[in-house]
Amino acid sequence: MGETAAETPPQFTQTPPQRPKRTSLADLAERAAAEEFLLPKIDDAKAAAAGIRKLAGKHITIYTDVPESDEIAELPTIFDAAVPLYCQYFGVDPAKIADWKVVGYLVQDKERFQGAGLFPDNLPPFPNGYTRGSEFWWYDQPSDYYRRHLMLHEGVHVFMFRWLGGAGPPWYTEGIAELLGTHRWQEGKLELAYMPLTKDEVPYWGRVKIVKDQFAAGNGLQLVDIFKLDAQAHLRNEAYGWCWAAAQFLQDHPLTSEAFRQLKSDVQDRSIDFSLRFYDKLKPHWPQIAEDWQLFVVNCDYGYDVARASVVRKEASPLPAGGGTATIAADRGWQSSGFQVEAGKKYRIEAAGKFTIGGDDAKPWPCEPNGITLHYHRGRPLGMLLAGISEVGPEARGLTPLAEPVPIGAGGTFTPAHSGVLYFCLNESPAGLADNRGTVAVRVVEEE
């Protein structure tokens, strides 16, 4: 047989194995978040058999055993109205949360919910409300307002944990929830971060009362004390009052507002570093902020206008030998005269000018520096000229002397107990400054 040509080895082609797509840390975090916030599977028939009704909204489903009423029925509508406001405040794209849903449990009889499997045994004890994943529980309250407040408060928690990845340390977690939970619901329109004008607007809320009572009892807190509150402190209502006060003050004060609103981008950090970074941003103005906070606590009341009540400061110089004049606006709180005075020296003060103080039924009252003797504020005629001394600085200790003003009126003498800058204001509630008009001219002369 003849030789045969060597067989050509068969040729094989093989597609290189595809490498699995690498999962980024962001993808893993998003996947973990999605699993953490999965909605619970609820047996509606079992819940109904236990006397628990289901109220459905776009973003929330509420299970409750509270008797039917118009106020209960509208809760999902109110929550749905809050969601775009949460997005606006925290800078979250509304399109991102278009299909977001949560479950809330409004509880009157805890055992009823436990029997229906809607109140897990591993929930920690809580006085009013508690959030976990995409669920939150809150106990029924004695007023429609406070029931809504707690729902919106817990709604802030579940929103922040889901879409921001955290809510910061305890003072900010609870403070921002208190701030945005404090609301006005009127004619189908919802307003969050609302400063109540009277206690009748917010029955059983009680945050202003907490601050006033605590201060009166000698238990007032400085801002740095509030920053140090831990989670255990919030087993008591007092902590919620102080955290609300801090959030309201810091959001509205001209020296702190911008930095406070930026904190929403740092909420994944629950450590003390969160507060230290915030403090560092404010440190150049901290003595002034601390003094204004003291005045806020001392005068805390419904409708407090933090921005207008903030102390108006300016560079000061010694009082000229022939005296000097300052102009004091009726629509602001304490205002610097621009003059430094010395302890123990006697000064003659004379004031003149006509201004208006907002009166009853929106009719302004004409006023002069002696004030209106038919209406009093803190024991003195409304609109009366008051004087005080302040010298803020790192060395300042104790309560600011501005918290204990001296009545002047149209004229009088003033012997300061402390050296510092001379300040004036017209005797008016910080809640009533916005509708005041006019100025007072004040002349200060050192007496021989």
* pLDDT at residue 1, rounded to an integer: 41
Average pLDDT over residues 110-130: 95
* pLDDT at residue 233, rounded to an integer: 82
Instruction: With beta carbons less than 8 A apart as the criterion, state whether 270 and 169 touch.
Output: yes
Q: How confident is the model at residue 361 (pLDDT cuts 50, 70, 90)?
A: low
Q: How confident is the model at residue 28 (pLDDT cuts 50, 70, 90)?
A: low
What number of residues does the chain have? 448
Which domains occur in the chain, in start order? 34-165 (3.40.30), 167-306 (no CATH), 311-446 (2.60.120.430)
Residues 6+ apart with CB under 8 A from 167: 157, 160, 161, 173, 176, 177, 267, 270
Average pLDDT over residues 375-384: 93
Backbone dihedral angles phi then psi of residue 438, each to the nearest 5 degrees: 105, 175
Nearest Cα to 107, choosing from 88, 123, 84?
A: 123
Cα 61 to chain centroid distance, Å, stands at 27
Q: Is the pLDDT of residue 232 over 50?
A: yes
| Rounded CA separation 385/426 (Å) | 5
Task: Note the pLDDT tens digit of each residue in 422-436.
Answer: 999 999 999 999 999
* pLDDT at residue 10, rounded to an integer: 40
Backbone dihedral angles phi then psi of residue 405, each to the nearest 5 degrees: -70, 160
In percent, the amount of the chain with pLDDT more than 70 equals: 90
Helix (H) or strand (E) holding 18: none
Instruction: With beta carbons less than 8 A apart as the criterion, state whether 64 and 52 touch.
Output: yes
* pLDDT at residue 23, rounded to an integer: 59
Helix (H) or strand (E) holding 308: helix 306-309
* pLDDT at residue 280, rounded to an integer: 97
| Rounded CA separation 156/150 (Å) | 10
* pLDDT at residue 358, rounded to an integer: 83
* pLDDT at residue 19, rounded to an integer: 54
* pLDDT at residue 236, rounded to an integer: 87
Task: Note the pLDDT tens digit of each residue in 124-134.
Answer: 999 999 999 99
Query: Which residues are paired to 356 by β-bridges?
Result: 366, 437
In percent, the amount of the chain with pLDDT more than 90 equals: 85
Residues 6+ apart with CB under 8 A from 89: 180, 192, 193, 264
Higher model confidence: residue 186 or residue 22?
Answer: 186
| Rounded CA separation 69/205 (Å) | 21
Task: Note the pLDDT tens digit of each residue in 137-176.
Answer: 999 999 999 999 999 999 999 999 999 999 999 999 999 9
* pLDDT at residue 410, rounded to an integer: 96
Q: Cα–Cα distances in Å, from 122 out to 42, 62, 114, 144, 169?
A: 17, 21, 11, 29, 23
Instruction: With beta carbons less than 8 A apart as the criterion, state whether 131 and 161 touch.
Output: yes
* pLDDT at residue 5, rounded to an integer: 39
Task: Note the pLDDT tens digit of each residue in 300-313.
Answer: 999 999 999 999 99
* pLDDT at residue 21, rounded to an integer: 57
Q: Is the pLDDT of residue 418 over 50?
A: yes
| Rounded CA separation 288/430 (Å) | 18
* pLDDT at residue 12, rounded to an integer: 36
